[in-house]
Amino acid sequence: MRQAPAPGSAAADDPPHALRGMFAASLDALRTRLDLAAVEFEIYLLLLVRALVWAMGALACALLGIVFALTALVVALWDTHRMLVLLGGSGLFVALAVLFGYLGARTMRDRPGVLEGSLQQLQEDQRRARGSG
């Protein structure tokens, strides 16, 4: 029959110490993963804001250019084909709206997830914890 270790021996203190060490290591790993997720999220937001600012600037300039070109065309053709030019300009703006909507949807669909790298790291940690790595 096996005897329990004495209360003051090193063998008695070993399991709680090992659990405490595992808990501390787990917290350190979690903190590292959260730091990585925060940095990744910040980078993602900065890239998104930069892309939105440039897209809005380009869109505003393009639309102003089209408006001034259509205004000049309407003034030039006021006596002959003004309705044709106005309807054509309206059709052009509708076509541009559809094109921009399609490009925006395609861009958002092709982007990686917000925290994709962090989630992959967490899956790798989970795989290692199960002992298959």
Cα–Cα dist 13/91, whole Å? 80
Whether residue 3 lies inside any domain: the answer is: no
Indicate the DSSP class of residue 8. Answer: T
CA distance 56 to 47: 14
Answer yes or no: is 6 within a domain: no
Question: Binning pLDDT at 50, 70 and 90, where does residue 13 land?
Answer: low
Residues 6+ apart with CB under 8 A from 33: 118, 121, 122, 125
- Band the pLDDT of 17: cuts 50, 70, 90: confident
Closest alpha carbon to 47 in 111, 106, 91, 90: 111
Structural domain includes residue 111: yes
93: number of Cβ within 10 Å: 14
Whether the per-residue pLDDT at 43 is higher than 80: the answer is yes
Q: 0.85 cut: is pTM over it?
A: no
d(CA 95, CA 88): 10
If you average pLDDT over residues 25-51, what whole number do you get?
84
- Is the predicted pLDDT of residue 7 greater than 70, yes or no? no
Of the two residues 74 and 104, the one the predictor is more confident about is 74
- What domain range is 68 assigned to? 11-128
Is residue 31 in a domain?
yes
